[in-house]
Amino acid sequence: MGSFILQRPVDIYWAPVFTATVCCTGALFFFWKWRNKQNIQKIILNARKRRDISLQRAEQAVQLFKSQNPGFESSTIVTLSLSELTAKLQDGFLQPDTVLHAFIEKALEVNKTLNCSTEILMESLEQLKVMSTQERGLLYGVPISIKENVGYKGHDSTCGVVSNLNDPAVGDSVVVAVLKKQGAIPFIKTNIPQGLLNYDCGNSIYGQTLNPSNLQKTPGGSSGGEGALIGGGGSILGLGTDIGGSVRIPSSFCGICGFKPTSKRLSLQGVNSCIKGQKSVLSSLGPLARDVESLALCMKALLCQEMFTLDPTVPPIPFNHEVYESTTPLKIGFYENDGYLQPSPSMSRAFRETKKLLERAGHTLIPFQPLRLYEVFHEFILKGVMADGGALTYTMLYNLLNFPAGSVPVSVVTEEDEEQLQHYNFIHKDPLDKLFVEAVKGGVGLPVAVQCVSLPWQDEMCLRFMKEVEELTAQNNLNLKRSF
């Protein structure tokens, strides 16, 4: 009894102390969370302010240039092909400052609608001042865009992640340094999804990027800002990265061409990533452009002694002109359906039309089916790259195998394609199939692409294959127009 009587006052004393301690700890925790959220919002707002300031400064620079050059007309410049543009720059018919201001003006216009830029690189105007002292490289005077995670001295490469803000690159990435050496002028960084590994293009820092052909649709990802900007006419050549289709998917969604080289063919030094240390599936850096010839020119420019010197881990293999320019008939394996994810009606139709064009041109088409794809995709790709699963097998398979691959636009979605979508029999008939149907609905007029693939290190052969598809498609479209 005595011990009971002594314990009771102690309980009465400690109860309020314990309650107060818990309340104070909880209050401190919520205060800390609130302050942390406020700090994050402040960091994000500062990043957006920096972007807006760069856009405003770029606008002012264009207006100043126009006032000093009354005859300046950007529309005649930004519609040129890359081969036409480089020719006019090399022979002096166009000057680099005129071309740069033309593309800055167009990029600003496109960005207002699509939100595809993370910032204008105002150092590009400074680069103009030293160009007269440099040799005229393959891309002399050509303005280029770069994906946000590609390092450029003095600028963040956030990968769409707030924790990477306010950590500017101390130097240019190797590819940026090489392109500058070749006379190219990086002038804009483009938007990406948060963490990069996504087939959309939006993040909490810079917002959502839209598709240039349909503002209700995504431009794809993760090089979605590149796809949108080039597809909208605001850039003629850009650099993206690809670990599961991140160059090929936005290219196909935005109606342009994109190329994923064999991994390690181009240097990745100075290119940021959110999945450092992952070795199951290798990332590649590759170009996006309006046509295959532009992709090939970019590869020629990058595969030079300057890159091999700056990054000795890159195999010193120059661009093979003989393979790319060859006209020897090709032997091409094909499959319309990989047995894992069924393509939409527009994709199947575009694929069959392209197959016919290739056969008619004298190429040999051989059917084949990827082996054990379900096991490969789930055991090697998903477990190696994505902790939470994922989907779109057609592109990521070739990252796993490290095959060069590219996308070439060959058609657009038709009303008939849209109608067939309502009655299409998909493989699994599960929620993912239903989600896929919902995702591709309302796509009439959107571009449709095919993927071209070759064996590792045969990058020039892949580009040659892509060029063949592009030229045959263009000739077929011309013949169809003449027949009406």
The DSSP output letter for 81 is -
pLDDT the model gives residue 145: 98
For residue 145, give the H/E element and its range: strand 143-147
Query: Using an 8 Å Cβ cutoff, are 257 and 203 in contact?
Result: no
C-alpha distance from residue 70 to each of 66, 99, 412, 466, 472 (Å): 6, 15, 39, 41, 42
Give the tokens for residue 42.
Answer: 């402040």
Residue at 295: amino acid letter = L
Q: Which CATH superfamily is domain 53-483 in?
A: Amidase signature (AS) domain (3.90.1300.10)
* Domain map (residue ranges) of the chain: 53-483
Q: Supply the Cα-derived Rg of the chain in whole angstroms.
A: 26
Give dist(CA 78, CA 227) in Å, integer: 16
Catalytic residues: 147, 222, 246
Per-residue pLDDT tens listing for the chain (484 residues):
444 444 455 455 566 666 767 777 777 777 677 677 788 999 999 999 999 999 999 999 999 999 999 989 999 999 999 999 999 999 999 999 999 999 999 999 999 999 999 999 999 999 999 988 888 999 999 999 999 999 999 999 999 999 999 999 999 999 999 999 999 999 999 999 999 988 899 999 999 999 999 999 999 999 999 999 999 999 999 999 999 899 999 999 999 999 999 999 999 999 999 877 777 778 999 999 999 999 999 999 999 999 999 999 999 999 999 999 999 999 999 999 888 788 999 999 999 999 999 999 999 999 988 877 777 766 666 666 654 344 476 788 899 889 999 999 999 999 999 999 888 877 777 777 888 888 899 999 999 999 999 999 999 999 999 999 999 999 999 998 888 7
In 3D space, the residue among 379, 383, 357, 315 whose CA is nearest the CA of residue 450 turns out to be 357
User: What pLDDT was estimated at residue 328?
Assistant: 96
Please, which residues have CB within 8 angstroms of residue 72's CB and are 6 or more apart in sequence? 65, 66, 98, 101, 102
